[in-house]
Chains A and B, each alone.
Chain A
Amino acid sequence: MAVSSSTIVKGRFDWGGLALYAFLTVLALFMLAPLVYMVSTAFKPISELFLFPPRFFVMNPTLKNFHNLLLASGTSFVPFTRYAFNSVVVSLGIVVGGVLISAMAAYPLSKHVDMPFRKSIFNVVILALMFAPQVTQIPQYLVINKLGLMNTYFALVIPYLAYPVGLFLMKQFLDQIPDALLEAGKMDGAKEWTIFWKIVMPLLKPAWSTLALFVFVAAWNDPWSSAVYTTTEDMKSLPYALTTINGGTANAIATAGTLGAASLLMIVPTVLVFVVTQKMVLETMAHSGIKE
């Protein structure tokens, strides 16, 4: 069931609406401009990259940058597809595991009000959000090493499964959902597990779609984990491979075009995931009449 315009208020909709669209469109174009430039850079031949006066759009698009990119990685002994495969496996693992674990943990924290230690557990999770991740990297590495997980897919996935941001997001969404919706299930004598799968998860659809998108983007763009937890070339991920292609320097003028092509390729999967998850968020059913 598609929800029409959410505003119920009937008023001078035309003028307000028109101004609204104008404002949003101008801002959207402004936000998109750097991205458009990036796309056009990816197709620019070397002769156009440093023209004066500088040009925003590409005039003679070429695929040479992509060719260079794939060739540069093709010369190493690990094929480009292997990096891509690693990235896909690891990102999907983190998304599925992370979202499920966060949702499961958020349910009792939000709805089982008289559980002992509920508040303190939640407070510790919130505190953990605020600790600079950089300094915990070395202790994290030691934990992975002690568990004997170096160079496995597990090492790339499990450190990111308990994601405090995810738990926090889910809990806030559950707080928004009226208890009455869950009480109905309890009346029918359903077990907690059934309530969770049949009632909580469907209600949390906007929340876990949002989280899935966010976690996927973070995992997909993260060059760190494979640099730290793996030592063999065939376990590396895509972002890591790209930083090596570009010599790791962001300001290298010579690779401006190649970097443009690389970042464009990196963005494509994240955009696809964005399209899927946002559709899920926007398709949320309007709640049936429950008065709080």
Chain B
Amino acid sequence: MNHTTVTTSGAAAYAPESKLRLLWKAMYAHRVSYLFLAPFLVFFALFTIIPVLTSIGLSFTYYNILESPRFIGLGNYRLLFVDDDIFLTAIGNTLKFAVVTGPVGYIMAFLLAWLISQIPNRYRFLYTFCFYTPAITSAVAMTVVWTYLFSGDRYGMINNWLLQSGILNEPWLWLQDVKTIMPVLILVSLWMSMGIGFLAFLAGLQNVPRDLYEAGAIDGVRYRWQELWYITIPSVKPQLLFGAVMQVVFSLQVFDVSVQLVGIPSPLYAGHTVMTHLFDYAFIRFEMGYASSIAVVLFFIMVGLNRFIFNILGHKE
């Protein structure tokens, strides 16, 4: 597997080559590959790596945006884990939310994409449109709809139905009652979760070589589920990994929906997530250092989860 077009002539062929020299040679041989990577890496360094490292640095300081940062060591982290009860609530809520929306949203996205791939082309577009459009809408715009559906008085659509059908005797405060805040958030998020993962699955399923299915049919694949299990899933493994990572990030960074539906702070912090906690400290109280430490903790939770996912779905190279 040698992709070089030009190899360096052996000027140093008679000298025993050091590790560094070998590395340099390999890098020089791949200079075209690095050229391909260059634009991405430049922008990535400027707008992602530098800001992220800055944030990690700030998490060890007291920084209120107006004054310059003051180094306080692990003070923020001590506060976060020992004195901040609300943060623990937020972690609990986020995990509750993620445990449901993560797996359910993921499996739903894949199954729907697969079912759509099973029907003739001319109808596919219509169904794709129906499932994906909710993800296009912004959380802000949809608030009009949700507040109307889940309104706590009898004007709310859902209360109205339940009262009409006699299931409830009095209107239920969907968005103020601690018992229903989380389920409603989960429901709305699931509705919006047919996003990039779903699209990636759809496109990936298009890419599976058709002759694999033909070969499978010859080899005795009888039923659709056999085709799915033995041929389709192994073929779209790269997309499955992508979708899983996206789903983890999506589930743990829940923020918009919570703010739009139940506000900051939510009643008894029932809809308070790690992200809303972070936003509260960053853009309401302007304690940037503390907010950065929350970000770092969230970051480690995600890295841990994704390690686990990569071990399951990542191909061993």
B66: CB under 8 A from chain A? no
Residues in A neighbouring B72, C-beta threshold 8 A: none
Asked if A139 and B65 sit within 8 Å, CB to CB, the answer is no
Contact bitstring B248-260, A, C-beta under 8 A = 1, else 0:
0100010100001
Grouping DSSP codes into helix (H, G, I), strand (E, B) and loop, the B interface class, with mixed when no group exceeds half, is helix
A131: CB under 8 A from chain B? yes
Asked if B48 and A281 sit within 8 Å, CB to CB, the answer is no
Asked if A270 and B207 sit within 8 Å, CB to CB, the answer is no
Within the assembled complex, what's the spacing in Å between the Cα atoms of A9 and B214? 9
Contact bitstring B124-140, A, C-beta under 8 A = 1, else 0:
11111111111111101
User: How many residues of chain B have a CB within 8 Å of chain A?
Assistant: 124
A254: CB under 8 A from chain B? no
Asked if B207 and A177 sit within 8 Å, CB to CB, the answer is yes
Question: Contacts A169-B200, A286-B210, A287-B210 hold; do A9 and B138 have CB atoms under 8 A apart?
Answer: no
Residues in B neighbouring A159, C-beta threshold 8 A: 43, 47
Mark out the residues of chain A between 135 and 193 whose CB falls within 8 Å of any chain B CB in the assembled complex.
135-140, 142-143, 158-162, 164-165, 167-169, 171-173, 175-178, 186, 191-193
Which listed residue (A21, A37, A196) contacts B148, Cβ 8 A? A37
Interface hit among B10-18, B80-88, B97-105, B218-226? B218-226
Q: Which residue of A lies closest to B23 (CB)?
A: A116
Asked if A164 and B44 sit within 8 Å, CB to CB, the answer is yes
B74: CB under 8 A from chain A? no
Asked if B206 and A206 sit within 8 Å, CB to CB, the answer is yes
Question: Contacts A8-B214, A143-B46 hold; do A130 and B207 have CB atoms under 8 A apart?
Answer: no
Asked if B206 and A281 sit within 8 Å, CB to CB, the answer is yes
Most chain A beta-carbon contacts within 10 A, residue among B2, B43, B48, B65: B48
Given contacts A24-B116, A140-B47, A217-B136, 16 further A-B contacts (CB under 8 A): A3-B121, A4-B121, A11-B223, A24-B112, A31-B131, A34-B191, A107-B36, A115-B34, A138-B65, A143-B47, A178-B209, A209-B203, A243-B140, A250-B144, A270-B136, A289-B209
